[in-house]
């Protein structure tokens, strides 16, 4: 049976530590706990306990060859997990941790193959959320945690999304409201000759370059090449509706689909275009707002049995690139 712990944002850190204690004890004893981070909700298990880690794959229906990110509550906690911490990692940690940047480094023997899908590298990040940090530090363990959704569903940005997907297939769910960023962390591979961004997120390649001088971004089309981040070969975001990305949404476009008997949703930044004729329309004031609500919008479109989601392309720098990346993936068959 799942137990829910509610944390409101009025609590100070000591109160949060008290509130998460039962869940932290459960993690240390091999249990599964869903918890909020600043990006999305994660489904955590003790990363050093192979049996506990296997339960994550079972609960999510996740393919065993897709490795997990280990979450730590302090930078020093990575030392025993990795072979060596290169200077670039030190600099990036100083600049961006705690925060939405996952680093891929060579793994140490301590990290079980179940976490890395048998691979020689390990993904690690320190989340910037008081509940996640309290939970990890009280558990006393590094915590392996993928997004707490069923495989193939949008990542959960509220506790309710976790309930919808995982129901009772976990021991504790810590509910602290909506996550602030709403998209998964940037994943940066530091084991390649030139550091490579494998997944876009709130920390941009430009920000990374400004710290370590170089970084390249794995192009969507490069995925036809041997897969360096196994997760990339799966279609992550799979709304029932077809997703179409257009430069500008027009009423004519929306009416054309509706005339074919299709239920239409639109996603856009606030623009001059009216978009009022869609069956369901999400308009956001900022790219940050769009990122924060994107997955909730995709889930809602599914619930409303929308046939086609028309999204307006955004070409601003920053997090909107990550938003477009997720929409592009959702648009692929
Ligand atoms: O923001 C996030 O990163 C969230 C929260 C919960 O921290 N976690 C998350 O985990 O998105 P997940 O499992 O849904 O996505 C992890 C991604 C996958 O694409 C996986 O293939 C990749 O990171 N990954 C993990 N370990 C890797 C490794 N050793 N080498 C390459 N890619 C790796
Ligand atoms: Mg995921």
Q: What average pLDDT does range 235-261 have in this prediction?
A: 88
Pocket test for ligand 1, best of 187, 233, 238 (most atoms within 8 A of CB): 187
What does the pLDDT read at residue 58? 98
Per-residue pLDDT reduced to its tens digit, 163-208: 999 999 999 999 999 999 999 999 999 999 999 999 999 999 999 9
- Distance from the alpha carbon of residue 182 to the mean position of ligand 2, in angstroms: 12
| Chain centroid to CA 224 | 23
DSSP for 55-97 reads HHHHHHT--TTS--EEE-SSGGGGGGGBS---HHHHHHHHHH-
Give the span between the Cα atoms of 5 and 7, in whole angstroms: 7
- Going by alpha carbons, the residue nearest to atom 31 of ligand 1 is 229
Ligand 1 atom with minimal separation from the 121 CA: 29
Please name which of 42, 55, 6, 47 lies closest in space to residue 28, comparing C-alpha atoms: 47
Give the span between the Cα atoms of 232 and 293, in whole angstroms: 22
Position of tokens 């869903």? Answer: 34
Min mean pLDDT across 9-13, 79-83, 236-240, 314-318 is at 236-240
Per-residue pLDDT reduced to its tens digit, 72-130: 999 999 999 998 899 999 999 999 999 999 999 999 999 999 999 999 999 999 999 99
Q: What average pLDDT does range 19-37 have in this prediction?
A: 98
Min mean pLDDT across 48-57, 225-234, 269-278, 308-317 is at 225-234
The DSSP code for 227 is P
Q: At residue 230, does pLDDT exceed 90?
A: no
- Going by alpha carbons, the residue nearest to atom 33 of ligand 1 is 229
Ligand with an atom nearest the CA of residue 123: 1
Backbone dihedral angles phi then psi of residue 177, each to the nearest 5 degrees: 80, -160
Please name which of 172, 166, 125 lies closest in space to residue 29, comparing C-alpha atoms: 172
Q: What average pLDDT does range 305-313 have in this prediction?
A: 95
Cβ < 6 Å from ligand 1: which residues? 37, 39-40, 42, 66-69, 100, 102, 104, 116, 119, 121-123, 127, 145-147, 184-185, 187, 198-199, 229-232
What does the pLDDT read at residue 274? 57
Per-residue pLDDT reduced to its tens digit, 138-167: 999 999 999 999 998 999 999 999 999 999
What does the pLDDT read at residue 224? 45
What does the pLDDT read at residue 277? 86
For 295, residues 6+ apart whose C-beta sits below 8 A from its C-beta are 40, 154, 155, 156, 157, 161, 182, 183, 237
Q: At residue 275, does pLDDT exceed 70?
A: no
Q: What average pLDDT does range 16-33 have in this prediction?
A: 98
Q: Are 101 and 201 in contact (CB under 8 A)?
A: yes
Q: At residue 308, does pLDDT exceed 90?
A: yes
What does the pLDDT read at residue 316? 86
Ligand with an atom nearest the CA of residue 126: 1
Q: What average pLDDT does range 55-63 have in this prediction?
A: 97
| Chain centroid to CA 219 | 19
Q: How confident is the model at residue 36 (pLDDT cuts 50, 70, 90)?
A: very high
Q: How confident is the model at residue 220 (pLDDT cuts 50, 70, 90)?
A: low
Mean pLDDT for the chain overall:
93
What does the pLDDT read at residue 9? 85
DSSP for 233-287 reads GS-----SSEEEEESS--HHHHHHHHHTT--EEEEEES-S---TTSSEEEEESSH
What does the pLDDT read at residue 233? 59
Kindly report the number of other CB atoms within 10 A of residue 84's CB atom: 9
- Going by alpha carbons, the residue nearest to atom 19 of ligand 1 is 231
The DSSP bridge pattern shows strands 143-144 and 42-46 to be: antiparallel
What does the pLDDT read at residue 179? 98
What does the pLDDT read at residue 315? 87
Pocket test for ligand 1, best of 33, 105, 123 (most atoms within 8 A of CB): 123
Q: Are 135 and 45 in contact (CB under 8 A)?
A: no
Cis status of the peptide bond prior to 98, with omega within 30 of 0: yes
Give the span between the Cα atoms of 69 and 47, in whole angstroms: 9
Q: What average pLDDT does range 27-55 have in this prediction?
A: 98
- Distance from the alpha carbon of residue 244 to the mean position of ligand 1, in angstroms: 26
179 or 10, higher pLDDT: 179
Position of tokens 């290169």? Answer: 86
Sheet strand arrangement including 308-312: 242-246, 308-312, 264-269, 280-284
Please name which of 94, 312, 92 lies closest in space to residue 205, comparing C-alpha atoms: 92
Pocket test for ligand 1, best of 101, 146, 292 (most atoms within 8 A of CB): 146
């Amino acid at each position: 049976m799942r137990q829910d712990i509610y944390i409101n944002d009025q609590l100070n850190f000591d109160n949060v530590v008290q509130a998460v204690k039962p869940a932290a004890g459960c993690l240390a004893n091999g249990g599964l706990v869903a918890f909020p981070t600043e990006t999305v909700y994660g489904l955590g298990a003790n990363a050093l306990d192979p049996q506990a880690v296997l339960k994550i794959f079972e609960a999510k229906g996740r393919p065993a060859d897709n490795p997990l990110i280990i979450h730590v509550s302090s930078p020093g906690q990575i030392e025993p997990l990795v072979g060596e911490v290169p200077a670039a990692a030190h600099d990036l940690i100083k600049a961006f941790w705690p925060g939405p940047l996952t680093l891929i480094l060579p793994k140490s023997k301590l990290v079980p193959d179940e976490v890395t899908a048998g691979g020689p590298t390990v993904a690690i990040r320190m989340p910037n959320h008081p509940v996640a940090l309290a939970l990890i530090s009280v558990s006393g363990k590094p915590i392996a945690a993928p997004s707490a959704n069923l495989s193939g569903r949008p990542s959960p940005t509220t506790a309710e999304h976790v309930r919808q997907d995982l129901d009772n297939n976990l021991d504790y769910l810590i509910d602290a409201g909506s996550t602030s960023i709403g998209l998964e962390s940037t994943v940066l591979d530091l084991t390649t000759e030139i550091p490579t961004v494998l997944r876009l997120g709130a920390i941009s390649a430009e920000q990374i370059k400004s710290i370590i001088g170089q970084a390249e971004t794995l192009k969507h089309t490069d995925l036809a090449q041997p897969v360096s981040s196994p997760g990339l070969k799966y279609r992550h975001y799979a709304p029932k509706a077809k997703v179409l990305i257009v430069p500008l949404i027009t009423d004519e476009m929306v009416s054309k689909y509706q005339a074919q008997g299709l239920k239409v949703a639109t996603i856009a930044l606030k623009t001059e275009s009216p978009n009022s004729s869609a069956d369901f329309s999400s308009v956001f004031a900022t790219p940050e707002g769009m990122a924060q609500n994107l997955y909730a919008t995709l889930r809602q479109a599914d619930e409303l049995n929308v046939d086609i989601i028309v999204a307006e392309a955004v070409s601003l720098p920053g997090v909107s690139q990550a938003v477009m990346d997720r929409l592009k993936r959702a648009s692929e068959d």
